[in-house]
Amino acid sequence: MSLPAPDPRPPLPTGFADKLAAIVGPKGVITDPADMLPYTEERRGNYQGATPVVLRPAATEEVAQIVSLCAHENVAIVPQGGNTGLTGASVTNGEILLNLGRLNKIRALDPQNFTMTVEAGCILAEAQRIAAEQDRLFPLSLGAEGSCQIGGNLSTNAGGTAVLRYGNIRELTLGLEVVLADGRIWNGLRGLRKDNTGYDLKHLFIGAEGSLGIITAAVLKLFPLPHERHTAFVALANVEAALELLALARQASADAVTACEYMPRIGIDFALRHNDTTRDPLAQPHDHYLLLELSASRPDSGMAEALETTLSQAFDKGLIADAAIANSDSQRQHLWLLREALVHGQASEGVSIKNDVAVPLSKIPQFLRRADQAVSLACPGVRPVAFGHLGDGNIHYNLSQPLGADGAAFHDRWRELTSLVSEIAMDLGGTFSAEHGIGLLKREALHHFKAPVEIDMMQRLKQALDPQGIMNPGKLL
């Protein structure tokens, strides 16, 4: 069930792999195809990767030497973090695969400056853990946090479940260290919140999917560690009510809503059916649910009252049908488990076609109505499972195959059905890719939806920073 990929690259010059291997030493090179599999396999099975060599440098200098050598011989490189990306952006097609996983140190943590300096290969959950040890929060949080890496998060401008309160990783980054496409190292590791000294170059590399250079380290913003979290699982009359509930919660909590995740009933059914440890927190089934979380850095902050006030106001207005509030951390985790199990449950329901769209919040109900209608007309029996970061306007409008349908035939309709959904999101002033990026999967959509002037500016930047086109070729642009 592979989707189309660009033509493979030419073979490496003779003896070139040995020169690269000498830079990283035996611990940093993989040539056995079986050992390469975790790096070459794309997690959704949409693409099959192939590479002559996987390199795992352990220092920025090693990355610089590799890139310099590749630039000299005009050899292309695909940088890779945890390989959890969902658009085929770190799939190799004959290029060198440069995995950053060994470049994983925390270089510094400055609690007073509320910053940490982290190498690109640091696993996200590890960065969160180290910050928490110093009573600080690194707020980026997403389902793949146990395996994705800071460099991958930066290169996809990752979002996740706390964007509503803290922003995506672009907003959490103060400085970067980058190996440029000619092998030079740019040290922009400044921990400053104010620095108006010309173009803010770090933003070029954030969200660039490795197409402009290789990020080797970053200075990230930290926040006070929350010592209180109040979480509710709320059943709603409709999606409009979800938006009203969010507005009430923001008002009542002095804007301390940390997460606002939407789930439809079909998603809860998937979670309950495929994960034995989940249970429905409410007595009756409902069509729409919101997982709402407020947090505060000090105990007795009034957040518990804010949540109760919100829910009682919402009941009075007829917005919500039922609600469960977590009274302990284990209850809270159980509510979040439903959200995670929904994603895994969908995989057990056969083939699913994924969309990662965003629209202005006020347009979400309209988007869902129009998208449901369009996909049902195009593919009778299709099961839309629209869930996600409602507080950011970001809906993962996934489509599970009709019951009993041929999975491969359904998968063949990926482009057609994602185009239908993307067109509706774009028509409502939205985007066809909210947080997963472009990679291989959405290149056509990028060229279709972006104005020629935007594509032209992007191509000029690419030409300026990577004139040989050796950085992750064929992705993004």
Find the shortest distance in angstroms from Cβ 64 to ligand FAD. Answer: 13
Binding mask 39-68 for ligand FAD (x = CB under 6 A): ----x-------------------------
- Spell out, one character per residue from 319 to 358, where the chain touches ligand FAD: x when CB under 6 A holds, - when not: ------------------------x---------------
Burial of 33 (0-12, 13-18, 19+ CB in 10 A): exposed
Considering only residues 153, 355, 398, 433, which one is a binding residue for ligand FAD as defined by CB under 6 A?
153
Q: Does residue 151 interact with ligand FAD by CB under 6 A?
A: yes
Asked whether 385 and 270 are in contact (CB, 8 A), the reply is yes
| Amino acid type, 442 | K
How far apart CA 115 and CA 108 sit, in angstroms, is 8
Q: Which stretch binds ligand FAD (CB under 6 A): 152-160, 223-231, 283-291, 365-373?
A: 152-160
- Residue 355's Cβ-count burial label (10 Å; 0-12, 13-18, 19+) is buried
Residue 262: which of 240, 294, 280 has the closest Cα? Answer: 240
Which of 40, 46, 65, 83 lies at the binding interface for ligand FAD (CB under 6 A)?
83
Give me the least distance between CB of 317 and ligand FAD, in Å please. Answer: 30
**What is the DSSP secondary-structure string of 311-368?**
HHHHHHTT-EEEEEE--SHHHHHHHHHHHHHHHHHHHTTS-EE--BEE--GGGHHHHH
Q: In the set 28, 57, 82, 430, which binds ligand FAD (CB under 6 A)?
A: 82
Decide the pairing of beta strands 96-99 and 54-55.
parallel
CB closer to ligand FAD out of 281 and 437 = 437
Tokens of 399: 């489509």
User: Is 168 or 301 the residue whose CB approaches ligand FAD more closely?
Assistant: 168
Determine what percent of the chain falls in helix, strand and coil, rounding each to the nearest 5.
40, 25, 40
Which residue's C-beta sits nearest to ligand FAD? 152
86 binds ligand FAD (CB under 6 A): yes
How many residues comprise the chain?
477
CB of 442 to ligand FAD, least distance (A): 12
Using CB under 6 A, which residues numbered 107 to 126 contact ligand FAD? 120
Instruction: Number of residues interacting with ligand FAD: please give it, by CB under 6 A.
Output: 36
Copy the structure tokens of residue 146: 């146990």
Task: Using CB under 6 A, list all residues that contact ligand FAD.
Answer: 43, 78-86, 89-90, 100, 120, 142-144, 148-149, 151-153, 155-156, 158-160, 209-210, 214-215, 343, 435-436, 472, 475
